[in-house]
Chain A
Amino acid sequence: MRKFITGNHAVAEAVKLCRPDVVAAYPITPQTPIYEQLSDWDSTGELGGTMVKVESEHSAMATCLSASLTGVRTFTATSSQGLAFMHEMLHFAAGARTAVVMAVVNRSLAAPYGFWSDQTDSLSQRDTGWLQLYCENNQESLDTTIQAFKIAEELMLPVMVMLEANFISHFMEPTEVPEPAQVDEWLQPPKLPRRFDLANPGFSNGVVTAKQYRDFRRLSSDAMEHALSVVERVDKDFGRTFGRSYGLVEAVDCEGAELILVTTATITSTARVALANLRSRGMKVGLCKLRLFRPFPVAALRSVLDNAPRVAVLERNISLGREGIFCSEIKAALVNSPGHPKIQGYLAGIGGTDVNQHSIEWVLQDAFSREVFMDQPIWVDDAAAEGGYNA
């Protein structure tokens, strides 16, 4: 059924369709409407399962990961400071090989306080051992949330689904909500090990020796590597049933392009318009959307970017003291490319500032004609958003 809903509402619809056994969350702007919608359905009995009220995000994650260890399906959602507060428990959720699914509404981290989109909150959780998927619009947020349960439960690794503050969380768009029976058939109840046995009490996360720790890490690392094929297969399988799939990366007009722009999340959507406009004027430019960040899809990216002479990475986040986080990762992924494209990083949209068609066209034109590629990122200023490269 097609509905006119926000991205937050779309994620809540996805969660309800997946019939979670335990939802534990704590409200934080701009994620709160997910929590509120699920609470409404909990109160009317439509959600099913158990909704646990907790006193913090740290406890929300502790609740979800413990519940997952009993073998049930679990969900939580957060943003920004809430995600930062969860940080310790994120490592536990991954290390204990749970299948927790979490929606993260990307929001700037304090200080200073802001409410708008910025990806640094989730990218700061890069090394916690969670899978990370970044969504372009409301529909992809809904679809990816459903996919996330299947991925997490097959791999026994937790999955984060990222949607951006405002541009997805509070943007209303027509969104296809699948029929419950269709989702029930596609997503079976979880087959997770039940690691708490009341008849045979034990301890789930014991102290280990250095060698044991290394071996557990090695197993998790192998699972992450295996995850690349699982994410790809689940997405294709989803596409066969629901008619929509997204890939690990998506290449638009990249064949023979002299410049490829790499983007994530909502900037990708606006970039499709900018790309079409510049191509209609004869510029050989392409667009590569990065959807999966952990595990990092090196081979998929290389198959798109290896032969491009120039790559521009445009992003809404920053690792202070270096550059945009996706840019660093892409440079590292291409270090063994035979042709080794020149790569220039661009920062736009930090703190939720506007990235419109003009600012993206400015980036494409700058990267297309630039003689010197710099190690440092270029901040796209507000003037670019006012009217293109020559304005």
Chain B
Amino acid sequence: MLEIKISGRGGQGVVVAASTLGLSYFNAGMYPQCYSVYGGERRGAPVVGFLRVDLEKVLLKCEIRRPNSLIYLDDSLFDAADVRNLLKPGDTILINTTRSLEQLGDLHGLRVGLIDAAYVSEQAGLGRIINTTVLGAYCRLAGQPELNCLLDALAEAIPVKRRANREAAQRAFDAVKITEVA
């Protein structure tokens, strides 16, 4: 079972990112379960979204404590030591950042994806919105769901800036830098 944690800050669209990624897996015929935790309800406060994804019905109705995939919409929340404690070798992590892999710290054993989402979003005409961009990068990093499932989900769940959202996700799919860190 895939267990994904999405971290970001209030205003970055963590909740929409989690539900849209869930919808993408749903469109791909899998069984996703998705929830978000946001007590603060203010811009800038840390917000986390979670997904479980399986081929069978997911029965667990409890918190995700040991995710095997991490997505950071904001690299100020990222800490390499925390990540090493949480993930196991072979797990995946995607970070929206302008930093290089070396600058981020020791991530050995992990499959790492880096995306400069602000740049991609700007190029795609999406302005400062980065959540859909990051999801495009995730599809490539994780190998699933297929990009088309995400694009369908974007069209269904996000009624504004349809073309730019689609464009940003496609560009990020191509632009994400993926490294298997030895």
Q: Which of A54-62, A66-74, A263-271 contacts B (4 or more CB under 8 A)?
A: A263-271
Measured CA separation A315–B96 after assembly (Å): 41
Task: Give min CB distance, A135 to chain B, whole Å.
Answer: 11
A168, closest chain B residue (CB): B61
Q: Which of A89-97, A169-177, A203-211 contacts B (4 or more CB under 8 A)?
A: A169-177
Residue pair A356, B26 in contact (C-beta under 8 Å):
no
| B-chain residues with CB within 8 Å of residue A270 when the two chains form the complex | 59-62
| B-chain residues with CB within 8 Å of residue A115 when the two chains form the complex | 39
* A126 lies within 8 A of chain B by Cβ: no
Measured CA separation A168–B33 after assembly (Å): 10
Task: Give min CB distance, B54 to chain A, whole Å.
Answer: 11
* A137 lies within 8 A of chain B by Cβ: yes
B51, closest chain A residue (CB): A172
Task: Give min CB distance, B24 to chain A, whole Å.
Answer: 10
Other-chain residue from A272, A273, A356 in contact with B63 (beta carbon distance below 8 A): A356
Given contacts A170-B35, A171-B34, contact A273 B22 (CB under 8 A): no
Residue pair B26, A267 in contact (C-beta under 8 Å):
no
Measured CA separation A273–B65 after assembly (Å): 16
Measured CA separation A356–B66 after assembly (Å): 12
* Tally of chain A residues near chain B (CB < 8 A): 21
Residue pair B34, A355 in contact (C-beta under 8 Å):
no
Beta-carbon contacts under 8 Å, A171-201 to B: 171-174
Residue pair A137, B61 in contact (C-beta under 8 Å):
yes
Other-chain residue from A4, A174, A273 in contact with B59 (beta carbon distance below 8 A): A273
Other-chain residue from A4, A172, A267 in contact with B61 (beta carbon distance below 8 A): A267
Measured CA separation A355–B60 after assembly (Å): 10
Measured CA separation A357–B65 after assembly (Å): 12
Other-chain residue from B22, B60, B62 in contact with A172 (beta carbon distance below 8 A): B22
B residues engaging A (CB < 8 A)? Answer: 19, 22-23, 26, 31-36, 39, 58-63, 65
A residues engaging B (CB < 8 A)? Answer: 4, 115, 137, 166-168, 170-174, 266-267, 269-270, 272-273, 354-357
- A172-B22, A174-B26, A270-B59 are known contacts; what are 8 more A-B pairs with Cβ within 8 Å? A115-B39, A167-B35, A170-B35, A171-B35, A173-B32, A173-B33, A270-B60, A354-B63
- Give 4 nearest A-B pairs by CB, closest first: A266-B61, A356-B62, A4-B26, A172-B34
